[in-house]
């Protein structure tokens, strides 16, 4: 009998921020960004205690009664909360927007509690500002991986006005499920330049290969997951891949994640610089305004997360003339 070989586990590169990036590492980083659009980061400067604290505070918020949480959205003026049954039956999230994470957290907290809960706002402020610093360092490494000196050329000029927001996500445990695999968040690409994800020890995040195979991204203590988003795919003329991913849940198991999205400013015109396109290569996207793309995505995917098919390709791909 011929046994099928088990699939080779994918070893995504781990960017180690405690030391200068080695040229040989840049090769694996650029390969991973091109092939998978995913990699890990370690020695990122965010202490485990801070993750634990943010998770604990998030759990407390998600455990509040539904009518309290609904004061934060989706129909209220503040709109920071996405309840279950929008993205999926299991997914609920709270958004804290930068650059003033403190003010953003405070405005949600003020709706939820009679008294000021300054611990929540201050912790989220600390987490948000650390994530901003981390995002800048990661973008720098990604630019280095694209070519010698690109971080010096483009980091300031193109990425200086980026902004971040944080999504605290709670996945309720599926109970009676017929299928073995339950999607907590269906297949999608992120609208960001890069996304940095902390997932708890449960795991469940999966990336999709170019061939359509789902590959587990197993949690590893001390590392964070980084993925390339659509804005970066557009800006890099497709050299960096914004790959589809999803979250699968285990029966009876609750899952929590913290996703940080680092994005261009709304008014930015996203256009790959000539050097990034490279001589002799065709431009595959027309220039587009960041906010217009975000609006395009929002108008196409409300309540349809599991069916997401629209990406930067649908929005900005140039129809190449056949020769
Ligand atoms: O929950 C996760 O691990 C990932 C969430 C995600 O992909 C997203 O919010 O875009
Ligand atoms: Fe995502």
Assess if residue 322 is contained within a domain: no
Assess if residue 20 is contained within a domain: yes
27 phi and psi angles, rounded to 5 deg:
-65, -45
The residue that leads in pLDDT, 2 or 111, is: 111
Range of the domain at 23: 14-316
**Number of structural domains found in the chain:** 1
* CATH code of the domain covering residue 154: 2.60.120.330
- How high is the pLDDT of residue 1? 46
CA of 319 to the centre of ligand 1 (A): 31
Q: Kindly state if the Cβ of 199 falls inside 6 Å of ligand 1.
A: yes
Q: pTM value?
A: 0.94
Tell me what percent of the residues of the chain surpass a pLDDT of 70: 92
- pLDDT band, very low/low/confident/very high, at 320 (cuts 50, 70, 90): low
Residue 193 has pLDDT above 80, yes or no: yes
Assess if residue 9 is contained within a domain: no
Is the CB of residue 74 less than 8 Å from the CB of residue 87? no
Q: Interface pTM (ipTM) of the complex?
A: 0.99
- How high is the pLDDT of residue 319? 67
Q: Kindly state if the Cβ of 135 falls inside 6 Å of ligand 1.
A: no
Assess if residue 59 is contained within a domain: yes
Assess if residue 308 is contained within a domain: yes
Assess if residue 135 is contained within a domain: yes
pLDDT digits (tens, 9 = 90+) for 10-37: 889 999 999 999 999 999 999 999 999 9
- How high is the pLDDT of residue 266? 97
CA 11, chain centre distance (Å): 20
Q: Kindly state if the Cβ of 190 falls inside 6 Å of ligand 1.
A: yes
Q: Tell me the mean pLDDT in the region 243-252.
A: 93
Assess if residue 2 is contained within a domain: no
Residue 323 has pLDDT above 90, yes or no: no
Q: Kindly state if the Cβ of 249 falls inside 6 Å of ligand 1.
A: no
Q: Kindly state if the Cβ of 230 falls inside 6 Å of ligand 1.
A: no
CA of 194 to the centre of ligand 1 (A): 12
CA of 272 to the centre of ligand 1 (A): 26
Q: Kindly state if the Cβ of 223 falls inside 6 Å of ligand 1.
A: no
Mean model confidence pLDDT for the chain:
91
pLDDT digits (tens, 9 = 90+) for 254-308: 999 999 999 999 999 999 999 999 999 999 999 999 999 998 888 776 545 444 5
- Lowest-confidence region among 68-72, 174-178, 205-209: 174-178
CA of 147 to the centre of ligand 1 (A): 29
Q: Tell me the mean pLDDT in the region 108-125.
A: 89
């Amino acid at each position: 009998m011929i046994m099928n070989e088990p699939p080779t586990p994918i070893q995504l590169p781990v960017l180690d921020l405690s030391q200068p990036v080695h040229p040989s590492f840049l090769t694996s980083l650029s390969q991973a960004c091109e092939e998978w659009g995913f990699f890990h980061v370690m020695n990122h400067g965010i202490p485990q205690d801070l993750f634990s604290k943010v998770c604990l505070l998030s759990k407390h918020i998600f455990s509040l009664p539904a009518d309290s949480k609904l004061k934060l959205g989706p129909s209220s003026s503040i709109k920071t909360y996405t309840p279950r049954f929008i993205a999926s039956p299991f997914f609920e999230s709270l958004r804290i927007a930068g650059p003033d994470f403190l003010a953003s957290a405070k405005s949600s907290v003020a709706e939820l509690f009679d008294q000021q809960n300054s611990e929540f706002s201050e912790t989220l402020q600390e987490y948000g500002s650390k994530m901003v610093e981390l995002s800048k360092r990661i973008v720098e490494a990604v630019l280095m991986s694209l070519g010698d000196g690109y971080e010096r050329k483009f980091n300031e000029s193109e990425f200086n006005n980026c902004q971040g927001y944080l999504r605290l996500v709670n996945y309720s445990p599926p109970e009676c499920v017929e299928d073995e695999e339950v999607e907590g968040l269906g297949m999608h690409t992120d609208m960001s330049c890069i996304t940095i994800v902390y997932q708890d020890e449960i795991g469940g995040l999966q990336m999709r290969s170019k061939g359509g195979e789902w590959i587990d991204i197993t949690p590893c203590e001390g590392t964070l997951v980084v993925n390339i988003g659509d804005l970066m795919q557009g800006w890099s003329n497709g050299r960096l891949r914004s790959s589809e991913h999803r979250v699968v849940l285990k029966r009876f198991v609750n899952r929590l994640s913290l996703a940080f999205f680092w994005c261009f400013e709304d008014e930015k015109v996203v256009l790959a610089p000539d050097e990034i396109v490279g001589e002799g290569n065709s431009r595959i996207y027309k220039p587009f305004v960041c906010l217009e793309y975000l609006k395009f995505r929002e108008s196409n995917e409300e309540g349809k997360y599991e069916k997401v098919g629209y990406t930067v390709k649908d929005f900005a791909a140039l129809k190449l003339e056949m020769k």
